[in-house]
Amino acid sequence: MPPATKTPQNQPADGVLNDGAVTGLGGGLEALAGSAGATLLLVGAGGCGMRGLAKLFLQAGWSVFGQDARGFEENDSLIQDGLTPLDPEQPLNVSWVVRSAAVPASDMHVARAIAGGAQSALYSDMLGEISKIRPVLAIAGSHGKTTCTGWIAYGLREAGINVGYLVGADVPQLPSSADWGNPALPLIIESCEYARSFHALHPADVALINVDAEHPDTYPGGLEEVVDAFGVFLSNMRSSGSVIAGPETPDLAHFTPGNWQDAPALADDQVIGLHGAHNRRNAVLVAAVLRTFNLPDVAVNHALATYTGAARRLEVVGQLENGATVVSDYAHHPVEVSATLQATRERWPDKRLLVVFQPHQAQRFHAYRDQFAPSLDLADALLLLEIYRARDPEELQASVKELVPELAARPGLKNRPLSTVQNQEEGRKILGSWLQADDIVLCLGAGDVDTFARNLR
Domain co-membership, 194 together with 271: yes
On whether the CB atoms of residues 16 and 37 are closer than 8 A, the answer is no
Question: What is the distance between the alpha carbons of residues 49 and 149, in angstroms, rounded to a whole number?
Answer: 13
The C-alpha torsion from 452 through 455 and 456 to 457, rounded to 10°, is -170
- 55 Cβ contact partners less than 8 Å away, ≥ 6 residues apart: 78, 81, 176, 177, 178, 179, 180
Q: How many CB atoms lie within 10 A of CB 282?
A: 27
Angle, CA of 414, 416 and 421, to the nearest 5°: 110
The whole-number average pLDDT for the span 267-288 is: 98
Which pLDDT value is given to residue 26? 59
Number of domains within the chain? 3
Largest CA distance in the chain: 68
Domain co-membership, 200 together with 271: yes
Domain co-membership, 297 together with 329: no
pLDDT at residue 444 is higher than 60: yes
Can you give the residue range of the structural domain that contains 83?
29-127
Phi/psi zone of residue 58: left (φ > 0), alpha (ψ -120 to 50 degrees), beta?
alpha
- 119 Cβ contact partners less than 8 Å away, ≥ 6 residues apart: 34, 95, 96, 97
The whole-number average pLDDT for the span 274-278 is: 98
Which pLDDT value is given to residue 88? 87
Share of the chain above pLDDT 70, in %: 94
On whether the CB atoms of residues 452 and 385 are closer than 8 A, the answer is yes
Domain co-membership, 178 together with 300: yes
Domain co-membership, 108 together with 194: no
Three-class secondary structure assignment of 30-49: HHHCECCECEEEEECCCCHH
CATH of the domain at 212: 3.40.1190.10
Q: Whole-number mean pLDDT of the chain?
A: 93
Q: Specify the DSSP element, H or E, that contains 334.
A: helix 334-347
Domain co-membership, 293 together with 358: no
On whether the CB atoms of residues 229 and 196 are closer than 8 A, the answer is yes
Res. 414 pLDDT band, cuts 50 70 90: confident
Q: What is the pLDDT of residues 156-174, one digit of tens each?
A: 999 999 999 999 999 999 9
